Chain A
Amino acid sequence: MDLVRNLFGSTIGRKLLMAVTGVVLIVFVIGHLVGNLQVFEDPDRINGYSHFLQSLGPALWAARIFLLVCVALHIWAGTVLAIEARRARGAESYAVKKWIQATVASRYMRWTGYVVLAFILYHLAQFTVGVAQPGTFKANLPHYTMKGAYRVLGVEVVRAGTDVLDVRSMVILGFGNRLVAVFYIVAVGLLSLHLLHGADSLFQTLGWRNHRWARGLRVVVTVFCAAYFLGNLAIPGAALLGVLH
């Protein structure tokens, strides 16, 4: 089919796949961060939120599979494009290389991408599967009893008195390992740098960019990335400083 061939087989098609999957992943990381920031509130909040997500069952798995497909497509398209680009450059490279206006973030997309991938794998191993740091994994910690109900849009989704996994303690104890906390901070810093180019670049790929609002877009993306970094820095940062306990 022409549509599939053009989308997966052409350079522009693959860039479109990168942009669209990038949008999905950006929306996910924003939601993920907003949800996680509940760790700063009463333990009922983050633990109730986590129990609610777990209770979604098949819907949770559908979301997980959708996100994994997006990550896989993003990596596949990026890898193919990078291999093609290297081949396109030819055997001989320039003796003098000079960047004219490429942003710093744009020059290290592959490298920041590698670190983000390693981070995602560790993050899943630590907080979802429990392979890394099993001693502080939620399933191995005493359960938490909800003091009040957890509501989503005013609807009660977790009742008071429910026995739930203690996600809040897992996060705080997990970041008790300073090396892990520092790795998280570095990784989300590089993810923010990845997004600094990616979130701007995707508008160009989708064809929704021109010089008139490029500057405004740049400002919005920069503010977003800075806010995203600070939000993500807050959790391991607070654990390191002993603010979260």
Chain B
Amino acid sequence: MTTPKTFNVTVRVWRQVGPGREGRFVEYPARGVNPDMSFLEMLDVLNDELAARGEEPIAFSHDCREGICGTCSLVINGKPHGPNHGVASCQTYMRSFRDGDRIVVEPFRARAFPVIKDLVTDRSAFDTIQQAGGFITARTGSAPEANAAPVPKHVADLAMDAAQCIGCGACVAACKNSSAMLFVASKVSHLGLLPQGQPERDSRVLAMVSTMDGLGFGGCTNQYECSAACPKLISHDFIARLNRDYTKAVFRSAFKPEPAGGGET
């Protein structure tokens, strides 16, 4: 087995000491980079060097490092999660770069995702949207019979495509309007496509869209940068579905008959 040839790159990283503080770019040489390292491992090695020198290591978010948790959030050379298609930052390997490259690393930029430190952003706005409608009503206690609610295969597949969203926020980071439409579309679709999600279908889409708007995300201008940057390759067809669902819900909720409300004070 041959040892892969190592190489050197320069990493230009956004450094910001805390929320609301002024930040700036700092360049660090990364020497002896193994092409099979992940991008985050390269930063780990760089941080070891910084710590050894007594400097503050670069703060970045990470957790599972296998592309399923949605924690990593780097904009590498102008593209969320780096140059490759359908992978998260943690699945971006140094073999995607060449010796002598100058790599610009920035945090996700959006008013709704404020920078906490360096490359770490607060993406709890997504949790707020999820809490507004990303749930179903289910009977507690024993698990219901799995086959009690038949779901056609193609519907289940489509719902699973939407459910792949890991909530990383790359869609927001890639959009020039910082729109969260792809995220909301995924969440609305994965529940709204299934029979279990029907009771709250209208209230869900209305609540999630209104929460999304309230949190300061922008609107969608149908450029589809979101789906191109999505590490799970979620299609912007779900945004069309969200638009359709929202329109129906707006008209249905405006004209639905009201219950008599007997007994109310």
User: Interface-forming stretch among A23-31, A88-96, A230-238?
Assistant: A88-96
A244 within 8 A of B: no
Partner of B241, one of A11, A203, A207: A207
Q: Cβ of B244 < 8 Å from any Cβ of A?
A: yes
Q: Which chain B residues lie closer than 8 Å to A88 at the CB level?
A: 110-112, 177-179, 216-218
**Shortest distance in angstroms between B203's beta carbon and chain A's nearest beta carbon?**
12
Q: Which residues of B contact A2 (CB under 8 A)?
A: 250, 253-254
B178 near A15 with CB under 8 A, answer no
Q: Is the Cβ of A87 less than 8 Å from the Cβ of B216?
A: yes
A3 within 8 A of B: yes
Closest Cβ of chain B: how far from A89's Cβ, in Å?
A: 5
Cα–Cα distance between A141 and B223 once the two chains are bound (Å): 48
Within 8 A of B (CB), among A133-180: none
Alpha-carbon distance between A210 and B225 when the two chains are bound, in angstroms:
16
A10-B213, A106-B222, A201-B221 known; A95-B250 Cβ under 8 A: no
Are A102 and B110 touching (Cβ within 8 A)?
no
Q: How far is the CA of A90 from the CA of B213 in the complex (A)?
A: 15
Q: Which residues of A contact B239 (CB under 8 A)?
A: 204
Q: State whether the Cβ of A81 lies closer than 8 Å to any Cβ in chain B.
A: yes
Say yes or no: A101-B222 contact (C-beta < 8 A), given A2-B254, A10-B213, A210-B240: no
Interface bracket on B: 35 or more
Query: How far, in Å, is A104 (CB) from chain B's closest CB?
Result: 11
B109 at the interface (CB under 8 A from A): yes
A1-37, CB < 8 A from B: 1-3, 6-7, 9-16
A101 touches B106 (CB 8 A): no
CA distance A90 to B239 in the complex (A): 23
- State in angstroms the CA–CA spacing of A13 and B254 once bound together: 14
Give the distance in Å from the alpha carbon of A210 to the alpha carbon of B23 in the complex: 41
Say whether B165 faces chain A, with CB atoms less than 8 Å apart: no
In the bound complex, CA of A199 to CA of B212 (Å): 26
Determine whether the beta carbon of B225 is less than 8 Å from that of A99.
yes
Q: Give bound CA distance, A138 to B139, whole Å.
A: 75
Interface string of B211-230 (1 = CB under 8 A from A): 01100111111111100110
> Would you give the shortest CB distance from B245 to chain A, in whole angstroms?
8
Instruction: Check A98 against B221 for contact (C-beta < 8 Å).
Output: no
A205 close to chain B: CB less than 8 A: yes
In the docked arrangement, what's the CA distance between A81 and B178, Å?
12
Chain A interface residue count, Cβ-Cβ cutoff 8 angstroms: 49
Closest to A16 in B: B247
Shortest distance between the CB of B18 and any CB in chain A (Å): 14
Q: Which label, helix, strand, loop or mixed, suits the secondary structure of the B interface? A: mixed
B205 closest partner in A (C-beta): A12
Comparing B43-51, B72-80, B192-200, the segment that makes contact with chain A is B72-80
User: In the complex where A2-B253, A13-B250, A210-B237 touch, is A96 in contact with B222 (Cβ < 8 A)?
Assistant: no
B178 touches A101 (CB 8 A): no
Residues on B with C-beta less than 8 A from A201 are: 221-222
Do A11 and B174 touch (CB < 8 A)?
Answer: no
Q: Does B176 contact A (CB under 8 A)?
A: yes
Chain B residues within an 8 Å CB radius of A204: 222, 236, 239-240, 243
Name which residue of chain A comes closest to B223, CB basis: A102
A85 touches B104 (CB 8 A): no
Q: Given A85-B178, A88-B177, A96-B104, A11 and B213 touching (CB < 8 A)?
A: yes
B75: chain A residues within 8 A (beta carbon): 94, 96
Residues of B contacting A205 in the complex (Cβ-Cβ under 8 angstroms) = 220, 222, 243
Task: Say whether A90 contacts B219, CB under 8 Å.
Answer: no
B28 interface hit (Cβ, 8 Å) = no
What is the distance, in angstroms, from B184's C-beta to the closest C-beta of chain A? 9
Residues of chain B contacted by A63 (CB below 8 angstroms): none
A209 in contact with B237 (CB, 8 Å): yes
Contacts of B223 in A (CB 8 A): 101-103, 106-107
Complex formed: what's the CA distance from A91 to B114 in Å?
10
Q: Which of B23, B219, B225, B245 contacts A100 (CB 8 A)?
A: B225
Residues in B whose Cβ lies below 8 Å from that of A87: 111, 216, 218
Contact A109 B221 (CB under 8 A): yes
Beyond the given A2-B253, A88-B179, A89-B176, could you list 11 further A-B residue pairs with CB under 8 A, ordered by the A residue number? A2-B254, A81-B221, A85-B178, A86-B218, A94-B75, A96-B75, A102-B223, A197-B222, A201-B222, A204-B243, A205-B220
- Sorted nearest first, the 5 A-B pairs with minimum C-beta distance are A207-B244, A98-B78, A88-B218, A85-B177, A96-B78
A-B contact list, 15 entries, CB within 8 Å = A2-B253, A6-B253, A6-B254, A10-B246, A85-B218, A87-B216, A87-B218, A89-B109, A89-B111, A98-B77, A100-B228, A103-B223, A207-B243, A208-B244, A209-B240
